[in-house]
Amino acid sequence: MNAVVEFFGRTWVRGVVLAIALVVLLVLPLVSDPHTNQTISHIAVFAVAVLGLNIVMGYTGQVSLGHIFFVGLGAYCAIIPIYYWWGGSLAEGAIVIGFVLSLVIPGVVGLVVALAAVRLRGLALAMVTIALPIIGVPLAKRLGDLTGGNEGLSIRRLAYEGSDGETYRGNPFGAPSWSGLDNDQWQYYLAVLLALLFFALAYFLVRGKFGRAFAIVKANEAVAGSMGIDPYRYKVLAFTISGIYGGAAGFLYVVVLQYTSSETLSFGHSIELVIATIVGGAGSIVGSILGGAFYVLVPQLTNAWGLSQYTLVAQGVIILLVLFLLPGGLASLPRVIRRLTGRRRGGQHVGSRERAESTSGNTKN
């Protein structure tokens, strides 16, 4: 087992595995059913959301219990211009505007919140982040003329004027005729390719200068200060980037579901994102993907088995098992296997040496 783990730990093997995974992701929607395509698209959405939370909690060691607020805010920033402007003079430009707004506005809000909040610690910081979705839900309902209130906004079949002057209804994220794809396939490619882009950006971020600074701030702020690293500055940066990634997940949410409402901002979803981060593996790129899969697949499996009322119970059992058996999350499994097999092999070597010495002693006697 240890040899297998070491083999897959080699750089060139990881590169080959990554290339195969990318090829599978590109080919899969062409041969799979719509339900599978939609499921993977959902995983891509929430993997980006978990990644954004991981930047704050996993890489910088800060508390953030209201991350769903940025996802919901990004979804509204994306869907509102599309809902009101798509099909008019702006045409597809409304989608571009929605994409830009879904990154900029959550990022700015994350910056403003961070400037005031990151000087706090522990419970005080947790309370500030909890307040975001608690405020966001009634605010979205109050601004019903813009957000659709309790009913939300749907862009599945928006009205637009065709070249012949007739009014038609269509999906802004429906597959264009030149692609030869079905809607679920087109939305799959949009969600997965954008998710891969954001994951690549995060990978270079955490492997570079900023990632090293985040790690030092997480380990010891006093040491970080003595090394010329301003903990306040980097914590604000982490919250801002986290807000941008939350907004990106909100845009992908609109791409895949073509709908959002105040329910998207629910505090319960935020706790589920925290659980997904812990289960997948805090401070891990791969853990963010596993966390997104956990977030999507557990409710689907309990629903498929007719046990939807036990979804929270299943999530609770899984997180307890992970905390006891894999404190580093599912992403730490290869490392745990390598450590256990190495310890076992070391014990065998010690035992063999003791037996050899005993045999040698008996021979001399």
Kindly provide the residue ranges of all beta strands, DSSP E only, lying in 150-235, ordered along the sequence: 153-154, 158-161, 167-170
Residue 279 domain flag: no
pLDDT above 70 coverage of the chain, percent: 86
In this prediction, residues 120-146 reach a mean pLDDT of 89
Band (343; pLDDT cuts 50, 70, 90): low
Per DSSP bridges, beta strands 158-161 and 153-154 are: unpaired
pLDDT at 64 over 60: yes
pLDDT for residue 14 is more than 70? yes
Of the listed ranges 23-27, 69-73, 156-160, 349-353, the one predicted with least confidence: 349-353
Number of domains in the chain: 1
Contact assessment for residue 87 and residue 160, using Cβ atoms and an 8 Å cutoff: yes
Residue 365 is predicted with a pLDDT of: 42
Hey, CA dihedral for 260, 298, 278, 196, is it positive or negative? negative
Total residue count of the chain as it appears in this document: 365
Q: Pseudo-torsion of CA 114, 118, 122, 127, nearest 10°?
A: -30
pLDDT, tens digit, for every residue of 303-331? 888 888 888 888 889 999 998 988 889 99
Is 286 within the bounds of a domain?
A: no
Q: Which amino acid is at 322?
A: V
Contacts of 250 (CB under 8 A, 6+ apart): 70, 71, 72, 73, 74, 75, 76, 77, 78, 102, 106, 260, 264
Q: Rounded mean pLDDT of 184-204?
A: 95
SS3 86: coil
User: What domain range includes position 22?
Assistant: 18-266
Residue 314 included in any domain:
no
What is the pLDDT at residue 265? 92
- Is residue 106 within 8 Å of 178, Cβ to Cβ? no
Q: Would residue 61 be called left, alpha or beta, if left means φ above 0 and alpha means ψ between -120 and 50 degrees?
A: left
69 belongs to a structural domain: yes
- Residue 181: count other Cβ atoms within 10 Å of its Cβ: 17
Has residue 255 been placed in a domain?
yes
Per residue in 72-124, pLDDT (tens digit) is: 999 999 999 999 988 776 777 899 999 999 999 999 999 999 998 888 877 78
47-51, 160-164, 251-255: lowest mean pLDDT where? 160-164
- Four-point Cα dihedral 48, 83, 240, 199, nearest 10: 20
Position 324 in a domain: no
Contact 24, 36 (CB under 8 A): no
Establish if 319 belongs to a structural domain.
no
Distance CA(149)–CA(144), nearest Å, equals 4
Residue 77 falls inside a structural domain = yes
pLDDT digits (tens, 9 = 90+) for 148-172: 988 899 998 886 666 666 656 678 9
